[in-house]
Amino acid sequence: MRLSIAMATYNASRFLQPQLESIAGQQRLPDELVVCDNASTDDTVAVLNAFREQAPFPVRIERNSVNLGCTKNFEKAVGLCEGDIIALADSDDVWYAHKLARLMDEFSASEAIGAAFSDADIIDEHGQRVGPPLWQRGAFGPRQQSSLRRDAFRELLRGARVTGMTMVFRARYRPRVLPIPTEWHHDAWISLLISILAELRPVDERLVRYRQHAAQDSGVPCSRRGGRPPLSARAERYRSAAQRYEEACERVRSWNDPALRPDALPRLKEKVRHLRWRAVAQTSPLNPPGVLAGLLTGRYHRCSTGLRAAVADLIHYANPGPRNY
């Protein structure tokens, strides 16, 4: 199987070289590295060009004339890959030497595997490990891993579990996941749609050093700052999420695929209804009985984090905090 790496860069020169060196040092080298640069104004492209001259594999560099945004830049990189397997790469992390070899083992073991992903160490801008690893921060423990192995789609409807820089997936699913809606994080969209058609495999090993710093596009939350968000912000968050899952519904409706699980569209529609309910529940007098009904019918467990989400909705109703309307 040919292996491609899709990397997105933007003003990445500060941390790019260690990432490139870690890719060149992989036990299983990629067959190509495709980099899409998002109109960087620093030395990112110069670093990439210098690396291309001595890389032990082909390196393709595409420069965008305008900044496409993170999601669309990754979409472009994924679309240009020619391999059978595609690994996603950020520009500021460091990969352990066995990362690609270990994840590729999953695809060799079973044709049913559509994507695989791993845990990661968290490092700061100086490369020092900080706090617990990624899965521990995200409460993705043995029970959640087992659930995802049994039914990845069901687990991902409860919450995003897959971080892009740890993920590899089969290129044959690319026609299903592209284009990626701009409102979605590319990794959440790709993993959700593939989970409808194939198995996902969590690899309980830390295969990446995931760098957290102020200049990056996204990261894992380290702590809650400044108290709870205003009531309007919480409601808008759920409304926006409902719109994103509506986009997933529209995509699935357009498929004509025998591998499509029959419950995919009904489950996505239920997720949309649940998110809309949570938006309304922040202020609705129907909140307490509605939350109880959602628990009794299993909706909170199917569409969110179960009892924890239900308790949060009750607390926000009883003590809404700043309204900021």
**What pLDDT score does 221 carry?**
37
**If residue 135 lies in a helix (H) or strand (E), which one and from where to where?**
helix 134-137
Residues constituting the chain: 325
> Token pair for residue 135?
């899965």
Q: Say how far apart CA 42 and CA 14 lie, in whole Å.
A: 9
> Token pair for residue 309?
């989400």
In 3D space, the residue among 321, 312, 322 whose CA is nearest the CA of residue 281 turns out to be: 312
For residues 156 and 148, the answer to whether their CB atoms sit within 8 Å is yes
Quick check: pTM over 0.85? yes
Query: What structural domains does the chain harbor?
Result: 3-211 (3.90.550.10), 231-318 (no CATH)
**What pLDDT score does 230 carry?**
60
Pairing mode, strands 3-9 and 85-89? parallel
DSSP-assigned letters across all residues of 200-231:
EEEEEEEEEEEE--TTSS--------SSSPPH
For residues 166 and 93, the answer to whether their CB atoms sit within 8 Å is no
Per-position b or e across 153-167, b if 16+ CB within 10 A of its CB = bebbbbeebbbbbbb
Three-class secondary structure of residue 101 per DSSP: helix
Cα 198 to Cα 50, 108, 111, 185, distances in angstroms: 39, 15, 9, 20
In 3D space, the residue among 69, 56, 67, 63 whose CA is nearest the CA of residue 28 turns out to be: 56
β partners of residue 5: 33, 87
- Give residues with Cβ within 8 angstroms of 276, minimum separation 6: 238, 239, 242
**What pLDDT score does 314 carry?**
84
Three-class secondary structure of residue 60 per DSSP: strand
Walk along the chain (325 residues) in steps of 10 and give the mean pLDDT of each run. 98 97 99 98 98 99 97 98 99 98 97 98 96 96 96 96 97 98 98 98 98 67 44 85 98 92 97 93 75 92 93 77 41
**What pLDDT score does 217 carry?**
56
**What pLDDT score does 257 carry?**
87
